[in-house]
Amino acid sequence: MLTATDNYTPDEQLEVSYNGVNWVPYSRVVSMPLPDAGFNEVTIMVKDKAGNIAKQTLGIWRL
């Protein structure tokens, strides 16, 4: 689980990516298949009105 807080970031400024490709808008529930065996990354990115960008990555091992 990834969590973050901000005093003003609308949901439309959040995006999520699987293994660093195909950034898609974040929704409250993210469902992504993990087709690749081994190490996979899910990254959430937020950009504020000032243009600052923050990313948080979660590593997942699939056997």
Domain ranges of the chain: 11-62
Distance in angstroms between the alpha carbons of the first and the last residue of the chain: 19
At 38 the pLDDT is 87
Question: What are the tens digits of pLDDT across the range 13-56?
Answer: 788 888 888 888 877 666 667 767 889 888 888 887 778 888 88
- The Cα–Cα gap between 11 and 54 comes to 14
Read off the pTM.
0.65
Q: What is the pLDDT of residue 29?
A: 66
Long-range pairs, 48-54, Cβ under 8 A, ≥24: 48/6, 48/8, 48/9, 48/13, 49/8, 54/4
Assess whether pLDDT exceeds 60 at residue 2: no
How far apart are alpha carbons 41 and 61 in whole angstroms?
9
Which of 29, 61, 22 shows the shortest CA–CA distance to 43?
A: 22
